[in-house]
């Protein structure tokens, strides 16, 4: 017997006729955007606790922006049952929150004279190949890259990908560089996919309408069947 997930099937009432009044909804845990946003949120909480002054507004703003991205994707998916407009609004809020968070990570690197890598940077290529699905996998990747960086530096006697570029700073593997650039890579992908998600939601709304239109069609069918 097929197991029913609490965030998918139990939110799907039986259909009447060819089209249900309440469409399938609530399966946000299967959305790639939600999965990415959850990793981003978990990593950001640890990143801020370790590298951002807990008394600063930046600490709270980054954590709240990451949480907002995750929560609004989920809420939009659930609310899609009765309001496609609300689904699009909340998806847009999630996208805006993650764009704000992206700026915070960029600011962190720039203000500390730390490198922000291009998408085709070798370290990011390895990161994307790993497809980290949770905090533990992300941390394992950072640990491996820091060890690789230290080894390369010992062998070559020069700064590598994770080094501070400011000559006044100590030249050593800097984990925050790997974390920030890794999260930026996840943010770029998640924001891109949210843009596509918004477009798909708008297309469905334009084609099928919202709850009011579905209710009208249901009533019309019942009258015609009498």
Task: Show the domain range for 204.
Answer: 26-225
Tell me, yes or no, whether 20 lies in a domain. no
Tell me, yes or no, whether 104 lies in a domain. yes
Percent of the chain topping pLDDT 90: 62
Rounded distance between C-alpha atoms, residue 206 and residue 200, angstroms: 10
State the pLDDT at residue 126: 97
State the pLDDT at residue 1: 42
Tell me, yes or no, whether 185 lies in a domain. yes
Mean predicted confidence (pLDDT) in 144-165: 74
For 193, half-sphere exposure in the C-beta direction (CA atoms, 13 angstrom radius) is 15
Tell me, yes or no, whether 165 lies in a domain. yes
Tell me, yes or no, whether 176 lies in a domain. yes
Q: What pLDDT band is residue 153 in, cutting at 50, 70 and 90?
A: confident
State the pLDDT at residue 26: 52
* DSSP state, residue 112: T
Q: Is the distance from CB of 159 to CB of 171 less than 8 angstroms?
A: yes
Backbone Cα Rg of the chain: 22
The token pair that represents 37 in the structure block = 């946003």
Per 3-state DSSP, what percentage of the chain is helix, strand, and coil (rounded to 5)?
A: 70, 0, 30
Q: Is 152 exposed, middle or buried (0-12, 13-18, 19+ CB in 10 A)?
A: middle
State the pLDDT at residue 10: 36
pTM for the model stands at 0.77
Q: Is the distance from CB of 24 to CB of 14 less than 8 angstroms?
A: no
Mean predicted confidence (pLDDT) in 124-136: 97
Query: 3-57, pLDDT tens digit by residue?
Result: 444 444 333 433 333 445 445 555 889 999 999 999 999 999 999 999 999 999 9
**Count of structural domains, the chain:** 1
Tell me, yes or no, whether 151 lies in a domain. yes
State the pLDDT at residue 155: 74
Alpha helices by DSSP H, listed for 27-120, are: 32-51, 57-79, 84-111
Q: Is 154 exposed, middle or buried (0-12, 13-18, 19+ CB in 10 A)?
A: exposed
Tell me, yes or no, whether 183 lies in a domain. yes
Tell me, yes or no, whether 6 lies in a domain. no
Q: What pLDDT band is residue 193 in, cutting at 50, 70 and 90?
A: very high
User: What integer best gives the mean pLDDT of the chain?
Assistant: 82
The backbone region for 160, taken as left when phi is positive above 0, alpha when psi lies in -120 to 50, beta otherwise, is beta
């Amino acid at each position: 017997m097929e197991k029913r997930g609490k965030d998918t099937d139990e939110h799907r009432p039986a259909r009447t006729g060819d089209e249900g009044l309440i469409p399938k909804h609530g399966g946000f845990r299967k959305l790639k955007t939600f999965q990415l946003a959850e990793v981003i949120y978990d990593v950001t909480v640890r990143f801020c606790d370790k590298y951002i002054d807990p008394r600063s507004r930046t600490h709270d703003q980054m954590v709240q922006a990451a949480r907002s991205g995750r929560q609004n994707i989920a809420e939009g998916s659930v609310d899609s049952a009765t309001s496609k407009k609300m689904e699009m609004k909340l998806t847009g809020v999630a996208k805006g929150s993650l764009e704000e968070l992206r700026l915070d990570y960029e600011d962190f690197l720039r203000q500390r004279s730390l490198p922000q890598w291009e998408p085709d940077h070798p370290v990011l290529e390895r990161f994307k190949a790993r497809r980290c699905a949770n905090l533990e996998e992300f941390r394992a990747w950072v640990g491996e890259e820091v060890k690789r960086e230290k080894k390369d530096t010992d062998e070559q006697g020069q700064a590598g990908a994770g080094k501070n570029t400011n000559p006044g700073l100590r030249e050593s593997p800097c984990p925050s560089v790997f974390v920030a650039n890794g999260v930026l890579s996840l943010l770029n992908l998640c924001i891109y996919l949210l843009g596509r998600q918004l477009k798909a939601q708008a297309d469905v709304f334009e084609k099928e309408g919202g709850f009011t239109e579905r209710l009208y069609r249901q009533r019309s069918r019942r009258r015609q069947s009498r």
